Amino acid sequence: MRSVGTLTRADLADLINRKMGFSRAESLEMVEAIMAKMCDAMADGENVKISGFGSFVLRDKRERIGRNPKTGVEVPITPRRVMTFRASQKLKERIASAG
């Protein structure tokens, strides 16, 4: 089912297909709809929280001065929005017990 070391959209659709009995096309459509909803929410500036899994959190970073490590020349780093992922406590515990 899984690609080596990576869980893909196709893997998720296959799981929905086998567990829920939806067709492959319907399963992939469900996965795509969920991903689209998450992307739209984040594009609108909303954080996305999936209970028991984690949160995708948006942060606005201000302009700051950085330094080119090779030359030492200071350069301005433009303001930007970044996304971080914070794993839920349940996910952290599950990962720790799997290792």
pLDDT, tens digit, 9 for 90 and up, residues 45-63: 999 999 999 999 999 999 9
Q: Is the pLDDT of residue 99 over 80?
A: no
- Over residues 27-41, the pLDDT tens digits come to 999 999 999 999 999
- Phi, psi values for residue 42, rounded to 5°: -70, -35
Over range 5-9, report the average pLDDT: 92
CA distance linking residue 3 with residue 11, whole number of Å = 8
Tell me where in the chain the CATH 4.10.520.10 domain(s) lie: 47-99
Residue with token string 């952290």: 92
Q: Is the pLDDT of residue 69 over 50?
A: yes
Q: Which CATH superfamily, name and number, covers 47-99?
A: IHF-like DNA-binding proteins (4.10.520.10)
What pLDDT does residue 5 have? 85
Over range 6-24, report the average pLDDT: 95
CA distance linking residue 93 with residue 53, whole number of Å = 11
CB-based contact 77:95 (threshold 8 Å): no
Q: Is the pLDDT of residue 1 over 50?
A: no
What is the model's pTM? Answer: 0.76
Over range 12-21, report the average pLDDT: 95
Over range 72-84, report the average pLDDT: 95
